[in-house]
């Protein structure tokens, strides 16, 4: 018997859940009034480090600071 389960609309649109979630979060942040909007937009910034591995040991990490959508 074939399954007739519904596919989530974000999957039917060819998106991943993370992409869908980011779009929704952006919409909510942009709907906020000041000063809450500015505070929420400042939290959108992402900070992370990348470490390449060679011979089973991590090399010096590279620190990154990216803002989504830029």
CATH architecture of the domain covering 9-65: Orthogonal Bundle (1.10)
Element (H, E) at 58: strand 57-58
| pLDDT score recorded for residue 31 | 92
Residue linked to tokens 């390449």: 52
Splitting the chain (70 residues) into consecutive groups of 10 residues, what average pLDDT does each group show?
A: 68 87 88 89 78 88 66
| pLDDT score recorded for residue 33 | 92
Q: Supply the mean pLDDT for the chain.
A: 80
pTM over 0.75: no
| pLDDT score recorded for residue 4 | 54
d(CA 62, CA 47): 11
């Amino acid at each position: 018997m074939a399954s007739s389960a519904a596919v989530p609309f974000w999957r039917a649109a060819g998106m991943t859940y993370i992409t869908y979630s980011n779009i929704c979060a952006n919409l909510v942040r942009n709907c906020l009034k000041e000063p809450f909007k500015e505070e929420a937009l400042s939290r959108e910034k992402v900070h992370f480090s990348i470490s390449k591995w060679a011979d089973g040991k991590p090399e010096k990490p590279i620190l990154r600071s990216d803002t989504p959508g830029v």
